[in-house]
Every structure is written in C-alpha cells, then in structure tokens.
Structure 1
C-alpha cells in the first residue's frame, strides 16, 4: 500500500468522477483516493478518481474520523503537476480550513499586549504514568510571558497550525512572501480573528537553529531507533534513507507499521512538542531515547512525526532563515537577534513596542549585547586583487595575519567564563580551559569583557603558529614545544560599554591599552596600517612565502557588524583568478549519496591517485563542489559504479580508510573520469591514504577528458606537488602581484637600505653571527632516508619528531615497500609481510 491516502495526476483516458458521475476529460487534472482492494491482496489498492471540486465537497460532510487532505504533503504526485494546478489545490485546502473554523462555535479571545504576568498550563495527556516517572516528563507545561497574554487553547498554538504555516512558507519561492506569511499569521491568527498564540514558542520551533539544543541523534541513529519502534527491518529503512530525508523515511515506515499506527487527527500543541524536544536533550542512553521517542510517536499523525523529526534535525525544509522569519516580527528584530542571540528577549521587547494589541505596528527595536550570550561573529568575503581592497576600504586598511586556527568568542563576567565557536556552539573544554587562568592576567582591569579571536597551537621554540588541525587533544601530544594560544583581534564589549559602534582603529587602541600579553598564551594579532597598494603587495608576498594562510583586511573606520561579511580575506587561491591555488588531476574512485535536495543522488565523490610502484589506488580527498545540477544529473549514469557492501572488505585495487568507505566504488579506476581539483592548499590528513596528503576546500574546476589514467597525477607526482606548494618561489608571486622586492612587515624599502648602510659590521661580528646561525640550523642527517616505525615501538612519537626534524621521512604500512629503514624494539618481533629485508638495520 502507498504511504499516502490521496493522489493527483492527469487523466490518461476519458473516465468518470466518483461523486458527480460526469466525465473526467483526457489530460485533465484529477484527484484520487487510494483504498484497500477488497478483491485483491492486502497489499494492493484501488483508486477512485474525482474532480477537484467534487472531492473537496465530499469532505464537507465527512465524519470526524474520515481522512481528508490537510496539506499538499498528503497527496502523492503533487510535485509532478504544474504550478497552476498546485495553486488551485492549495486554495481548496485553505478554503476548507476556513470553512471548518467559521462553522465551529468558539469564544473569541483577542491578545492583549498590555503588561501582565500570567501563567498558563496545558495537560500533556500522558497515558503511561510509570513511563512518565521514569523519564521525568512533566505533566504540566507552564508558559510565562511578561508582556503577552496567551490563550493556551488557541488554535494558533496547535502543532497542526504550525505545520500549515511551514507549508505556506515553503510553497513561496520569494523571501518577501515568506516573511509576509509569518507577518499575517502573527497579525490575524490562523482563524483570521486575531493572533492569540504564543509567539516565542512558535519562533523557537520555526527557527530550530536559534536554540542551543543538542539531541545527540544523527540520521542513522534515528533510523536504528525507529526500526525498533516500528518493528521493521533496519537494513530496509537504511536503504530508504539513501534518498536523503530521514523524516520521509520514518514517515513512510510509520504508515506501514503494524506495531504502532499513526493518529488520524493531530491533537498535539506546540508547547507539548517544545517540552518533548527539551526532554530529548536530557537523554543520551539508547533505551531512554527509544522509550521517549515511542511515547511521542504514539500521539503523532504521520505529518506530526515528519515535522517532529525535522525539528530534531534542525531542518524544516522551508528554505527560510532567521532573517526571513524575524523580519516579519519587527524591522530590527533580526539585527537585535544577531547581536544578543536571545530570542525570548527580542520577543518580549517587541511586545513592548506593539500598538493596539496587533503585531506589525512597531517602532524601531533597539540592538543590544547580552553578556554570556554569543554574538554572531563578523565575517570576511574573498578579496581577489589589491585594487579591489582599496576600493572597499576607503579609510585606510588595517591588515592582520589570518591565523589558521579555530574562531573563538570569549565572554567574561567576573569569575565566570563562556566560550563560543564560529557557529555559536560551546567550545570543547580541552581547547580553552587554560584561558580561565590567563585571561584575568592578560586583562587585569576588565571585569566584564567580550573578545573575538583565534585559538591555535603556538610553537614556543620557533615563535610561530602551528597549522590548522593540530589543536585536537590527540595531536597536542605530538608538539611538546607548543602551547594553546589565544590570538585576540577584536573587543566589542568592555566593563558594561558596548563598543560595536566604535571604529575599528578605536577598538584596537582600547584593546592595546588593556592587554598585557602573555607569550604563547594570550597575544594580540599582528596588525599594520596599509596606506598604499605597494605595501599591501609586499605583505601578501611575505604571508604566502612564509606559509601563512593569508590576510584579513579591515577598513580602519568600520564598525563591528554581527554576521555581516564586511571584512576582506586574501588567500593565494583567491589571487589572479585562482592561478596561485594548488591543483591536481585526480581519478574518481567512488561516490556517496547526498543529503537534502541531493538525496538519493551520487553527489559527493571520492578522489584519489595511483601508486606507480604498488599499482594500488590511494584516496586524497572528497569533493562535492563544482557541478551544476544538469552536469550532476549526467554523472549519475555516465560513471560506471557498483554498490558497496560496507560489511565486506574494499576491492583489492584500493587502499581506503574504514571511515571513508563510500556507498559506491567505480567498476574500473582505469576507465574512470579524471577531474582537475583546485583547493586552498595541499594539507595533511590522517584519514586519507595517499601518504596523508589531501586538498583543503577542494572544488572541481575542469573535467579532463583529454587525459587517461596514465596522465593523471600519480602518488609520486602528488608528493612533489605537496613539497613544491610549501616552497612557492618569488617569481610566481611577482607575476601575480607585480614586480616588487620583498620587504618586512610594515618596513619601507628606503628605510632598510639606509639601515643597512649605517650597520657596518666588523669581520669578528660577522664570524660570530655566522657561527650562531650554523649552530641553530638543523643538519639534514636523515635526508633521502625513509623510515617505517613498527607498532609498539617505545617513544614512537619522539622518534617521529626527531626523524622529521633532521629531514627524514616516515611512511605507514601502505608504503612499507619504500622504506629504507625499519625501526623495531626487537629483531624477532612480528612485522608486516611486505617488510623489505634490507631495511632491517
């Protein structure tokens, strides 16, 4: 049987309407009911067709238990009909709902926006008291609103109403119309007699990412739990999940389940759903999650469950962000939310400004910071030339080194600290716990402060930052001479004063006046004022030559604008139309199913290269960017692939990490396409097997139909490209930036030449300097030597550091045949079969 009770299509021949008995002309749109076939198998169904008007007329006299069309989601094939017919059906659904409401006697209750403190309660109607006790699900939900009187029994608070508004928002492609749908709802309510619902709870649900709820449930885990709830086959559900939407998967198997059946009518409220979501964040054990989800599901219609799971996934599929929704609340609501991230505070302040008890007539909402609540960080857009930087930064450029770490926003209120990531999530303690000790020392006069910066590992021996990815807890042990350091580049709140409206140069000055740098722990970002293009060119050259990620450029008079991309970032892959970027011609080795709109499609591809010595293929990166929808559609059939069974071992021709096993393997890598991949830089990755070489931020820039697998980038060639990318010559930079001599940060060429003339050194001084330099240089003792360190070798981490420091190379078991030396504890210990005998020395 189908998951849905209704269908829509175009009549293939002349037939008759079940209700009026008149003809359904060939090619005309028709609605159908899907009913069990009394004359066939239990799994077969029969179809009864109607004119659109006729079917909706029949609903008017239907019993309360009869299934009717409540939304477009109830209709099979709705997405395949033309827009005109879609609009007609949606209009009929809306009219039917309005007719129901007008026919129902209801005591009208209009929202009073006057100040009041009213507690309202709703019964969650839980049936299993023992289960309630076990999971501590409260039986009463108290909603306190300081400013708005809420009718808890209002139709505006029904979960079904929430879903209808979501469907309307999703239906409109225009963002202005999406905002209009929300605005009209908050003004008139679902019954068009005035909104009497709970605006805050409604916004909490329609903006699921606005809350800090963490459910600890990914799509696979949800499928696993619901396969037990529905008593169905986990593998079958997992196969359905490949279509990309876990809510559709669960909804589909819900309608088929014999163990638990969907409710015919939705009875849930948004407050019950909000409470269930809160409870779900508190349970982490699988059995507790299972029991709670089962209890919720028993109260759901199929559409209730679909929306509930989408709330867990924080993706309602309505193509509307915070701005679209909050613009409907107040002109400044989005800006206020970006700064405070406190939805409740924004709603309560809006209610203060509402006139005549109707949202929509408001004064401007003020924008303010709430300490200990994350602020949406200001961001940077790509800058592709020196000239464009000066066009966008007209008041002088403050240039900062772009640190390759993790963005950190630090809030301090007395002795209390909070740390937030770029995505406003709490930062893992091991990365920032040390700051509680050092921030009071670095900012002794700051009782309340918000700092913006980057946290990364800092090499205290060589006085330089370490690259991205070294901050992980398991990796810090490999860098004994490194400390976790917080590089501060902005401050927008200090001792009760909001600094966001102050100019960048003034914020920087205040920062410099209040900070006492602690080397290797809390430091100011390196910054200089750039006044002419030549100075910026020199700085870019120095940055790239030293292997730094790039620069961030800021207008010296710019204010701090949360969430706005008004800073500029310069990286080598942005310059000269990408000619400075790292590229490689790699072979498609496998593919993964996409998610969301690309669900059920191969939209992420596993790329790799051939080891010419072993004739094995090794993985380099995954790529999902660079194709338009039309090209991606063609690739579904043009690349010959076979489905992977992740329980079995990978094919003999590929060396792939277990965590990267794809959904499909190519049938023959030598017949597979070659694509040119461009990225920000070559990087090191523990999960990829091409000597650990990978590409950061890869995208497909060209289909190399002119090349065969023999001309693609091999592993041996990839190693050379990796080494070369770390030693970019000045010639390439000069070609991109113009012929200018390299200069130190902020130092003019004329000043250097004058300085050189004044500093005449004696032979003794020169010899002393030479001796000092030679002592500090590391000799290349292990150059051209390749080491394999057997598992279990004592102090292997220290050994690796020393080998690399003296120009040696280390390989893993995949490249054991290339090793010139093998390091073991004992000569008689077990070694891999392919260990070269001449390497044991």
Structure 2
C-alpha cells in the first residue's frame, strides 16, 4: 500500500523548492521548509518521510545505487531525445552550460537544470500530476539500468518522463538526479530542520532511511546511538597535521597511510556486507557469503573459530599477485571492481575493530581494540592482512617515521592516541594524518603555464575560475617554445583577491575553444577547456601536487594528484615554464611522488643536545626486558633496524644481540640507518627491498660479523636488497651470478656451485 508521501504530487515539491530558492535571506528559507515539513508531518499520520527527504537531500542518498549521469551525458541525451541539431544554438547551450550565454539572467550560467528549463519550456506540455512515488520509482530504475550497463534503457526512462512532466518539474528532476539542489541550504541545515538529532544519526549510520525511521517525532530527542551490524556508519577521520609542528605529549600508535579505499566489513551468521566510506554498499562485488563470492570465502576461512560477528574498519587495496605487493590508487585502479584471480586483486587491510561477538567496542581504548583485532583473524597474504603498526615515543621518532615513509614512496603516516575511543565522522578525536604536502616545503614546486580556462559555478559562474595547465615542448638552439602539452587542471590554492587580479589580467585574452579548431600551439587530448589563451599572453603558476599518475586524458600521458596553486608568477616570462623533458626527469627522480626530500625539524627551534644513548636507555626504547650486558664494540655507533626475526631467534633477541655488540636500535629506519636486518623473508621485508631506499642484510651476515669480530663486506648473497648505489658498487666486484672478480673461490662456494 502506497504511503502518504509516495502519493504526494511532485509538483508540490517543485513549488516549495521554487519558493525557497528565490529567497535571499537564509532565515526565510528555513521558515518555508520548516513550515512545509511541519504541515505534512501533521497530515501524514506517521508515514515515513524518507521518500520525500531523499529528494530534498539527493547527495545523502545511499539506499539506491549511482545514476551514472553527469551534465555532459544529460546534454547528449536531451539533444538526442529532443532531436536538436548538434551544432544548433540550443544543443550548444546544453553542452557549454557553464559558458556565458545570450540569456539575460546570470542565474542561468553554470546551472545545467536552469539552462535545460529555458530550452524545455517551449517544448514540454503540462504536467500529468506525476507523484513523488513515481519519481522515486523511476530513479530506482535508472540506478538499476546503469548498474546493468544499459544506457538505451536509461534514455527510454528519461524520454517517458519528459512526456509526463512540465518544464518546471523537469528542472527540479534534473537537480535531483545531478544531486545539486541549489536551494541555498546545506545538507546539515536541512537535516536539522527535519530533526535536531538528524546529523548525529546520519554521521553514525550513513542512512537517510534510518534518520527518517528513527526520528519521526522532533519532540523526542535521541540520547544514545550505537553502531549496528549491517548498517553503514561514517568512519572516524584523522586530523591533518604538520609533522614539524606536532606537539608530542605521549606514546602514540603509528600506522602506514594506505592509498586505497576506506571500507567497512560487517559479518554475522555467515553473512557479509561491505560498505565504502560514503556508505555505498559493495556486497555484490565481494560476496554476501562464502558461496556467492570468492573473496568472502577466502576471508571467512581466516576468521578465528570463536568469532561469530564482527565489524572491521580498514582500507581496501589492490594486491599484485605476481609480485606480492600493494598496488595503490595511483596505478589507476578501482579497488571496488577488482576480482580475486586477476593479476591485481582486492586485499583488505583492517586497522580497527568496532564490534566483536555481539559487543560494541567503540568506547574502548584503541590499544584494547587492537588486541581484539589481533585475535579476530589470521592474515592471508593478498586477501586480508592486519595493517602494520608500531609505537613512537618522541618528536624525533615522528620525523623519522614520515621520512621513512617518503623513502618508501608511501603516502604518509597516521598517528593515533592509544586511549582514543572511536567517534564516527569525527576529525578531532585523537587521530592525526601526516603527509609531506601538509608540511611547508614538503613538496616539489612546478612552474606550469596556463593553457586554458573553465567557467566556474556558484559565486564564480560565468567567470573563469579553474585553469588547464601545461608543459612546454622542448626546442633547440635556445628558441622560445612554440607548442605546449596539457598536464592537469587546477582550481584551488589562490585567494579570491588573487583570482580576481589574475582574471582581470587574462579576461581580454580568452578565446572560445571551438570543436575542430584547436590552436596549433596547444597539444590537447580528451580533456579540453572552455576557453584557451595564446601562450605569449598567458601566465605561469607555481604548482604543488602530491604525485604524478598516468592518464590518457591529458596530452603528456600523465597528470597530477591533489593540485593547488602556490604562487602566481607574474615575475616569470611565459616561455620559462617547465618543459616536458624536465618534468619527466622529476617524475623519474622522485618515482612519481613529488616530495622534496626529508622533512627537517622546525626551523629556528633550539634543540638541546641529545643525551648519549646508554645500553639501558636503548633497552627501554625498544621495550626489551632485563639488563643487556655489553660484550664487544664490533657494531659501535652503527644504527640498525630489525625487520623480522629468524627461525627460533625473535626480533627482540636480534635487537639485544646488536645492542650487546655496540650497535644502536632505531624504532623507524631513517637516513642515518646503517642497514636493516632481515631474518625470515616476509611481506614487510619485501616492501623494504622493493623500495630501494635501504640496504637490507640477512641475519646470517650479522652472525658472520659477530663471529669474525669485524664488519664483513657485503656480498650479493648476504643481502636481501640494497639501494641503487649499493647495486652499482656490487657490480664492480661481482658478476650477474654473484661470483667475485677478485676474491678466490673457497671450498663452500665450490660446493654450492657443484650442487646447484
């Protein structure tokens, strides 16, 4: 049986939206929406508001899948449905809806739905009194057809709706489908109007349906909410922090900053559910149970026999099955579509557990949740693996940790207070995110030339607010460059006054980019700007970005991630921008990560001289138990980092051995670390070897040094991995088979040769 809101006329919804949008005063907007909701709350006889609120709040929609429709796709669809000439005025207005047009109202510019309304108002008939329920049914169907990759069926749905709706209804339908209502009220404000506790419930559950179900009566307030099995919640977040300004006060847990997709795994009664950070469900991709999905079957086999139900929070990554290492998003993979059995398959890295065997754990300290996590499952390489973590106990350790992450070409580190409780959607509750780009001077500067511009939206509609940036093609004999390759798009980093000043300088130089008329100076690919500018009339921007990734969208075959403007370089001539060859050298030198090197301590800060590290202090730093007696100085002043234990010798025993013989143990490998010691070859050892940032010696080399009472020179056989310089040095003394050019062959080497 249809509820009250499903039978409500969609035209009524459109009328109240029109009344809200024309008001400039925020309080009046509030009053109109509150009166509308209260009126229907009194008439609906307790019916659930969900079918109505999902239209007011389309960005918060989680109960149906994505529509796969953006402005450009809609423009092409409407051109086809309305049989508009492709080069005609109306068709071009739909495609270039952000560009200034002949329409007098500036409100139209940059608003696709409004542009479409002006075109449709003479082509649409009267409304057939379509209901809110019918609108939702059609949106459900569009999501289903998009998921089954059936664009023709989507066209059919839009064509039928065009026949049923007036131009006004079409406008608001388009705004719902594009998830941008232009009401002048934020999602939080609309939620608050519905119920004062709505934001809290949505932050926890990521479900608008749950908000409308739990909070139907605004006079009843919510006092306590818990996370629930099989219902997504908004995960706890980390606060951005400058590594050099972090005020260390206590021992912290340190984790690798994974560059994947945040995921929740829910499990109970042999059923799985998977949710993304934004609450979208991907259970169909990974498997509802061990019979419907191979990924879930692999994970189910790793769970502890005593585990009956669990919620895990972690990062879904790609895993290269041939090379046995992590693949990040920078490799242009979508972890949500990966399948077990492919060369790159999904691998889940849980770092927190929030629910275990019927008990909610969010109010327990993180260190206790880590203990529960450790007993929840057994790692299976390439499928489910606990996120690595350790502890740090000084500011110097934190700097060493971020520099070690830079050396390994990782995204950064996460610091967490050991006693932190889990607060959904909170970014200020004891978790800290440190990446090179958060630290002044942590990223490489790139001087790029503006090649084109994009019209903005909102307050910037009708104005160029984003820029296409490019590199100069190399020239010979010192001539100025004559061609420029597109590299990226940038739209942040500058202040409003800076953008206005730049816009005023370039405004008269912009030229509309017409299809088939790309200037010879501009080498473009799939991505094209709204307007272009002649290079000699343009300006250089000093850009910072986190990394370079491959891309076919831009002409140079690469693009930049997390781009922002650092400075506008009016002082540099247009021809003095970065060239493609210089850019390739930077890309190779930094292995795609655009960090400018190690982060140093805070400038100007006076550091007290560090106390000489005694054996006792080293033992304390490494959590070793009992006194360590010094037996030799073979390893005197050399810094070591022990990656793994060996056979029956634990990691702690190897650390004791190093300290006994004069060595220094580091919690995090850094630039001053002499070498890493590897016992058993596990995933962490392989990662260090593949990074090429450190020399990784086998434990047997350390035993050899202590037996001979001296530092034994490294050989290919004694190393698990080394740096580029180390490989070069070895190549001068050993051939590709590991045989020495200068050392005589001993008896053991002969035996090895004859046997192997």
TM normalised by structure 2 equals 0.71
2:389 is the counterpart of 1:538:
no
Give, in whole Å, the separation in 2 of the partners of 1:347 and 1:719.
53
1:99-147 Cα shifts (integer Å, max 9, x gaps) = xxxxxxxxxxxxxxxxxxxx4xxxxxxxxxxxxxxxxxxxxxx23xxxx
1:444 corresponding residue in structure 2: 304
Q: For residue 318 of structure 2, give the secondary structure of its aligned residue in structure 1.
A: strand
Compute the displacement of 1:707 (Å): 0.6
Quick one: structure 1 residues 388 and 348, their matched pair in 2 at CA, closer, same or farther if it must change by over 3 Å? same
2:686 corresponding residue in structure 1: none
TM normalised by structure 1 equals 0.64
Quick one: structure 1 residues 348 and 454, their matched pair in 2 at CA, closer, same or farther if it must change by over 3 Å? closer
Compute the displacement of 1:186 (Å): 3.2
2:398 is the counterpart of 1:398:
no
Q: For residue 573 of structure 1, give the secondary structure of its aligned residue in structure 2.
A: helix
Give, in whole Å, the separation in 2 of the partners of 1:731 and 1:565.
27
1:391-440 Cα shifts (integer Å, max 9, x gaps) = xxx66422211012222222233443333323333459778965313211
Give, in whole Å, the separation in 1 of the partners of 2:330 and 2:284.
16
Give, in whole Å, the separation in 1 of the partners of 2:575 and 2:164.
60
The structure with the larger Rg is 1
2:510 corresponding residue in structure 1: 641
Question: Aligned to 2:135, which of 264, 273, 283?
Answer: 273
Structure 1 gaps, min length 5? 1-118, 120-141, 144-149, 355-359, 784-841
2:98 is the counterpart of 1:240:
no
Greater shift, 675-684 or 165-174, is seen at 165-174
Compute the displacement of 1:594 (Å): 3.5
Question: Aligned to 2:540, which of 671, 674, 677?
Answer: 674
1:771 corresponding residue in structure 2: 716
Quick one: structure 1 residues 238 and 502, their matched pair in 2 at CA, closer, same or farther if it must change by over 3 Å? farther
What is the 5 A alignment of 1:550-629?
550-566=412-428, 567-575=431-439, 578-613=440-475, 615=481, 616-629=483-496
Compute the displacement of 1:581 (Å): 1.4
Contact 2:312–2:353 (Cα < 8 Å) also in 1 = yes
Contact 2:236–2:426 (Cα < 8 Å) also in 1 = yes
2:105 corresponding residue in structure 1: none
Compute the displacement of 1:151 (Å): 8.2
1:344-382 Cα shifts (integer Å, max 9, x gaps) = 33323324xx4xxxxx31132542334333221222231
Quick one: structure 1 residues 427 and 733, their matched pair in 2 at CA, closer, same or farther if it must change by over 3 Å? farther
Quick one: structure 1 residues 196 and 629, their matched pair in 2 at CA, closer, same or farther if it must change by over 3 Å? farther
Give, in whole Å, the separation in 2 of the partners of 1:752 and 1:687.
55
2:239 is the counterpart of 1:381:
yes
2:386 corresponding residue in structure 1: 524
1:249 corresponding residue in structure 2: 115
Quick one: structure 1 residues 151 and 371, their matched pair in 2 at CA, closer, same or farther if it must change by over 3 Å? closer
Contact 1:401–1:526 (Cα < 8 Å) also in 2 = yes
1:204 corresponding residue in structure 2: 54
Question: Aligned to 1:654, which of 497, 519, 522?
Answer: 522
Give, in whole Å, the separation in 1 of the partners of 2:320 and 2:445.
29
Quick one: structure 1 residues 499 and 626, their matched pair in 2 at CA, closer, same or farther if it must change by over 3 Å? same
Question: Higher RCO, 1 or 2 (CA under 8 Å, sep at least 6)?
Answer: 2
Greater shift, 587-596 or 421-430, is seen at 421-430
Q: For residue 607 of structure 1, give the secondary structure of its aligned residue in structure 2.
A: strand
1:159 corresponding residue in structure 2: 10
Give, in whole Å, the separation in 1 of the partners of 2:499 and 2:243.
32
Question: Aligned to 1:453, which of 308, 314, 319?
Answer: 314
Quick one: structure 1 residues 428 and 496, their matched pair in 2 at CA, closer, same or farther if it must change by over 3 Å? closer
Q: For residue 353 of structure 2, give the secondary structure of its aligned residue in structure 1.
A: strand
Contact 2:493–2:566 (Cα < 8 Å) also in 1 = yes
2:74 corresponding residue in structure 1: 222
Give, in whole Å, the separation in 1 of the partners of 2:137 and 2:166.
18
What is the 5 A alignment of 1:699-738?
699-726=564-591, 733=600
Contact 2:474–2:579 (Cα < 8 Å) also in 1 = yes
Q: How many residues align?
A: 611
Compute the displacement of 1:459 (Å): 5.7
Greater shift, 466-475 or 320-329, is seen at 466-475
Quick one: structure 1 residues 186 and 745, their matched pair in 2 at CA, closer, same or farther if it must change by over 3 Å? farther
Give, in whole Å, the separation in 2 of the partners of 1:199 and 1:342.
13
Quick one: structure 1 residues 238 and 377, their matched pair in 2 at CA, closer, same or farther if it must change by over 3 Å? farther
Contact 2:254–2:414 (Cα < 8 Å) also in 1 = yes
Contact 1:539–1:743 (Cα < 8 Å) also in 2 = no
2:295 is the counterpart of 1:435:
yes
Contact 2:6–2:51 (Cα < 8 Å) also in 1 = no
Compute the displacement of 1:500 (Å): 2.2
Question: Aligned to 2:188, which of 323, 326, 334?
Answer: 323
Give, in whole Å, the separation in 2 of the partners of 1:480 and 1:275.
36
Give, in whole Å, the separation in 1 of the partners of 2:251 and 2:724.
44
Contact 2:441–2:596 (Cα < 8 Å) also in 1 = no
Quick one: structure 1 residues 683 and 213, their matched pair in 2 at CA, closer, same or farther if it must change by over 3 Å? closer
Contact 1:376–1:563 (Cα < 8 Å) also in 2 = yes
Give, in whole Å, the separation in 1 of the partners of 2:320 and 2:401.
22
Compute the displacement of 1:697 (Å): 0.6
Question: Aligned to 1:754, which of 656, 659, 681?
Answer: 659
1:88 corresponding residue in structure 2: none
What is the 5 A alignment of 1:287-326?
287-326=152-191
Structure 2 gaps, min length 5? 99-109, 288-292, 611-637, 644-650, 664-701, 729-756
Question: Aligned to 1:663, which of 526, 530, 537?
Answer: 530
Q: For residue 449 of structure 1, give the secondary structure of its aligned residue in structure 2.
A: strand
Give, in whole Å, the separation in 2 of the partners of 1:302 and 1:344.
29
Q: For residue 409 of structure 1, give the secondary structure of its aligned residue in structure 2.
A: strand
Compute the displacement of 1:716 (Å): 2.8
Question: Aligned to 2:333, which of 447, 468, 472?
Answer: 472
Give, in whole Å, the separation in 2 of the partners of 1:530 and 1:710.
48
2:307 is the counterpart of 1:421:
no
Give, in whole Å, the separation in 1 of the partners of 2:5 and 2:276.
38
1:56 corresponding residue in structure 2: none
Compute the displacement of 1:622 (Å): 1.2
Give, in whole Å, the separation in 2 of the partners of 1:419 and 1:404.
18
Quick one: structure 1 residues 731 and 151, their matched pair in 2 at CA, closer, same or farther if it must change by over 3 Å? closer
